[in-house]
A and B are shown apart, each in its own frame.
Chain A
Amino acid sequence: MTATSLLFFAFSAIIAFIYRRLPEKWRNSWLALASVAFVCTWSWKFVIVLIVFSCANYRFGKKSQTLSTNRRGWVRAGIIFNILFLFFFKYNDFFLQDFSNFLQVAGFLEPGLVLQILLPVGLSFLVVQNISYLLDISNKRIQPEMSFVRFLVYIFYFPKLISGPVERARTFLPRLDHPLSFDRPLAERSAALILTGLLRKLVFANPLFNLIPSAAFTSPQNYAGQYLFFWLLAYAFALYNDFAGYTSIVRGVSLWFGIELSPNFNLPYYSRNFTELWTRWHISLSNWLRDYIFFPLSRSTMKRFPNRNHVLNIILPPMATMLVSGMWHGLSWNMLVWGGLHGLYLVLERIPGLWRPIIPVDEQPRWKQYSGRIVTFAFTALAWVPFRMELPVALAYWKGLLTWAGIDLTEFWYPLNHSNVLFAFSDYNLPSPILLAVLAAAMVYDHFQHRAGKEEFLLGAPRWVQVLLVVILLGAALLAFFSDTTAPFVYQAF
């Protein structure tokens, strides 16, 4: 059941309808039950794994409370448990082959077979949520949750289960006790978020993903630089619209229950530097990394080297944080390079602060803000290359970006004078005009959101724009329904 399916909306609507009519004391149990049912639509095995996971974390939480004698020990044990859990289910490539070989030698497994462990949905997101839960208890920011049902809802709450947002217990749990009343303004907000999400996913993200030939990510050396350039642009916008679209949808659906989920994106490609980028891209995870990796590490290095300009104070916290971010996405060299690149960008950004005071970005001259935006986007896009493909292929892609073939405009007038303008487009040595059109549309959409200054900007749009967007969305959905192409949510795989 994906977030764009009719089934998901129907399921959510029924659950929300009943939820609103239940007495308060039954509501959390109902949400927990519905969320378990939701996980069952993926696999009943996931339910067992996630319940074991929840029980363990619930126990660790209780053991970590202030009164406990070995509080820190339990917190450490809980964190190690969560990391091992993640390793076992997500990073098992490292040991599964050897373990299968061992079982084959021992006669427990048929020769040639390799054990497979399925990654339960949303596990990476749940692990970071639980670590924050345990650390917050340890740091006395919250008391351990005593109600197992409430804790189960914190873990399982189905709108956020698959790909977040990463919620903190200290903000999420109180919201369960005070759901927003479902009045007209809330319904409008919910509709705006869902419509935005569906547009981002079905009209921008899916087509952009599909319009890039898969060979671009396996043999980029076969293509001229201009193709690789536009495909990288398309990939950057596809990825952003995919995840931002997903988040908008689940935030909108969550409002049906009166539960506000944290925003995850705020026009990241409008960032004027990399520090700002990480306050706009995957905000809930970025904040988590900031609060639980970056700040503690900064404090720790500052204690050892009180001079804030010490090289370790400059390099270590951002680099380590971004490497952890890379590892969270996947334990592979290419993800480490992606994280490392962003770490490097952040480090480089901090270097000028060694000899001159840092001017807040809002106070910088306009030209500097614009150029910062372009530079930040360009380097972010370049970092998406190892995010998407294996390292040797990524190197070939970067190299390919530098070798452009001549764009042939001598034939430009020919197709204009004939009927098949679109089909003759490849004569210019440029990518598909459809890709360019969708890319432009995605940028224009962001521009309007930027101008309006809020994600739910559709609420203030003229009626004809709203209606037109609904018609476009339905048209895209109709074609997608019959299409041979699919593009599952990228972050679903994490």
Chain B
Amino acid sequence: MTHPQLQEENNGNRVPTQSLITSIVIGVILFSILLCAFEGISRTNWFSQIESVRSLGIYHNQFEIKWFKLEDFVEENGGVDVLLVGSSIVNTGIDPDILSAEYEKLTGEHLRIFNFGVEGLTVSPTSVIVRILAHKYHPSTILLVTEMRDYVAINGLAVENQLLSDKWFSFQEGNECTLNGWLRVNSNALKSILLFRNWSRSDFLDTYQTYLTRWKNTSASGYEADHHIGKNINVLPDFSLKEEAQKYAMFHDFSIFPGRLENLKSILHPDESVQMVIVTEIPPYPTYFEYFGGTWVHKAYLEELKTVVEQNDGIFLPPFNWDVIPLENRVDNHHLNEYGATLYSTLLAEQLARNCQGRDICIQSSVTAGAEQ
């Protein structure tokens, strides 16, 4: 009787020639060697000079750019003294180089300042990021630029969930020890390869090009200038428009969500090495407050914010009046453009210097602070 399965074999399927299994083994070994060789090369100075663009494999491109720019900043400057944290408002609103230069001019203290403002982040993910950054870089001061939207419970949830659920974050936080997380933290080769991880996405070429452009446009101190000049900033929002109505629906019933308040408190106590946490706001144009119910809501919010900050050993820096920043220095009613950033950075340096001279609340470089301790 014929073996029931031999018929198909006799039809030409069973053709043992040279060993494919041997080729697979050779392929695996070769691939491993190539990876190891690339890992070695990627750790050389030569490689970092020709290829500075890297990725963590996190979906939020700007977070990745800021992370690596800060890494390079610390390597070049020997550390970081002040970390500016918050959302896109910080990203485009404060130029650390101007802030540092002005502050040094007024107080004689040279500060190494880095802008870690990341688009779309509320105080909730910021609290996690601040903890990671403070633990890794031990800055003496954290300057949080916050705004009303940060305290609306449903605002920024999608970005937060996607960002914080990433295995890289879990590994950094020590919550989950995975091979995926470990490799992304420790392998230099992977950081270069990960740029191409979405090669098969339909929008890959566009997103890759955007990534390169943003990398180039972000300064060594983390500032990304916005060159646009806003239009109709002083015109009240039209809530009959769908987009405006959606924003209004989200913010008009404004009150500080208790969970977000806890996030703020967490930022105020990030790490033992951090001596000072300063909280402030870049003044929005008054039309912005229409979404929240008017300027009086903003005033009440600032009062509450000040109380919480001061009760938790933070320093509340009262925001400037909105009219110190002209309309042409704004991109919209809450973001500043490059001119606005220059102006605001100067004003902020002056305010910080006044605080140092008048109230004896001085920002110190981490080196000085360490020596004093």
Given contacts A425-B205, A483-B197, A460 and B15 within 8 Å (CB-CB): yes
Q: Counting chain B CB atoms within 10 Å of each CB, which of A174, A212, A459, A481 scores highest?
A: A459
B49 beta carbon closer than 8 Å to chain A: no
A430–B198 CA distance with the chains assembled, in angstroms: 20
Interface string of A234-278 (1 = CB under 8 A from B): 000000000000000000000000111000000000000000000
Inter-chain contact B23/A467, CB cutoff 8 Å: yes
Instruction: State in angstroms the CA–CA spacing of A214 and B77 once bound together.
Output: 45
Contact of B202 among A188, A191, A212, A483 (CB under 8 A): A212
Q: In the complex, A143 Cα to B178 Cα: how many Å?
A: 52
Which residues of chain B from 179 to 193 have a CB within 8 Å of any chain A CB? 180, 184, 190, 193
Q: Which A residue sits closest to B179, measured CB to CB?
A: A481
**Chain B residue nearest in CB terms to A203:** B200
C-alpha gap A173/B95 in the complex (Å): 74
- For the complex, is A422 an interface residue (Cβ under 8 Å from B)? yes
Asked whether, in the complex, the Cβ of B23 is within 8 Å of the Cβ of A184, the reply is no
Contacts of A479 in B (CB 8 A): 193, 196-197, 199-200
Number of interface residues of B (CB under 8 A): 41
A459 near B15 with CB under 8 A, answer yes
User: B194: CB under 8 A from chain A?
Assistant: yes
B3 contacts A260, CB within 8 Å? no
Which residues of B have CB within 8 Å of A423? 205, 209
- In Å, the complex CA distance between A474 and B5 comes to 32
Q: Does A382 contact B (CB under 8 A)?
A: no
Whether the pair A434, B205 counts as a contact (CB closer than 8 A) is yes
| CB-based contact A467/B202 at 8 Å | no
Q: With the chains together, A192 CA to B17 CA distance in Å?
A: 12
Q: Say which residue of A189, A259, A435 sits within 8 Å of B14 (CB atoms).
A: A189
Q: Which of B9-40 contact A (CB under 8 A)?
A: 9, 12-21, 23-24, 26-28, 30-31, 34
Q: Are B21 and A474 in contact (CB under 8 A)?
A: no
Q: Does A213 lie at the interface of the complex (its beta carbon under 8 Å from any beta carbon of B)? A: yes
Q: How far is the CB of B262 from chain A (nearest CB, A)?
A: 30
Indicate if A454 sits at the interface (CB-CB under 8 A): yes
A206 in the interface, Cβ–Cβ < 8 Å?
Answer: yes
- List residues of chain B with CB within 8 A of the CB of A454: 12-13, 15
CB-defined contacts of B184 to chain A, threshold 8 Å: 482
- Shortest C-beta distance, A110 to chain B (Å), equals 24
Beyond A192-B20, A471-B31, A481-B180, is A420–B209 a contact (Cβ under 8 Å)?
yes
B193 touches A478 (CB 8 A): yes
Of A178, A189, A468, which one neighbours B4 at CB under 8 angstroms?
A178
CB distance from B320 to the nearest CB of A (A): 40
| Least CB distance, A485 to chain B, in whole angstroms | 5
Interface residues of A in 187-217 (CB under 8 A from B): 187-189, 191-192, 195, 206-208, 210-214
In the complex, how many angstroms separate the beta carbon of A210 from the nearest chain B beta carbon? 4
Please give, as numbers and ranges, the residues of chain A lying within 8 Å of B24 by CB-CB distance: 191, 195, 466, 470
Q: Which residues of B contact A484 (CB under 8 A)?
A: 59, 197-198, 201
Residue of chain B at shortest CB distance from A476: B200
B27 and A471 contact, CB distance less than 8 A: yes
Q: Is the CB of B5 within 8 A of A175?
A: yes
Distance of A186 Cα from B30 Cα, bound (Å): 25
**Closest CB-CB distance, B38 to chain A, in whole Å?**
11
Q: Is the CB of A211 within 8 A of B16?
A: no
In the complex, the answer to whether B4 meets A175 with C-beta atoms within 8 Å is: yes
Kindly state whether residue B239 has any CB partner on chain A within 8 Å: no
Q: Is residue B203 contacting chain A, with contact meaning CB distance below 8 A?
A: yes
Which residues from A are CB-within-8-Å of B190? Answer: 482
What distance in Å separates the Cβ of B118 from its nearest Cβ neighbour in chain A? Answer: 18
Is A467 touching B14 in the complex (CB atoms < 8 A)?
no
The 8 A CB mask of B186-224 against A (1 = contact, 0 = none) is 000010011011111111110001000000000000000
Ranked nearest first, the 3 interchain pairs of A and B with the lowest CB-CB distance are: A470-B27, A207-B200, A466-B23
Contacts A191-B24, A485-B200 aside, 15 further interface pairs with beta carbons under 8 A come to A180-B3, A188-B21, A191-B21, A192-B20, A206-B200, A210-B200, A210-B202, A434-B200, A454-B13, A470-B23, A471-B27, A471-B34, A482-B57, A482-B194, A484-B59
B residues at A contact (CB < 8 Å):
3-5, 8-9, 12-21, 23-24, 26-28, 30-31, 34, 57, 59, 180, 184, 190, 193-194, 196-205, 209
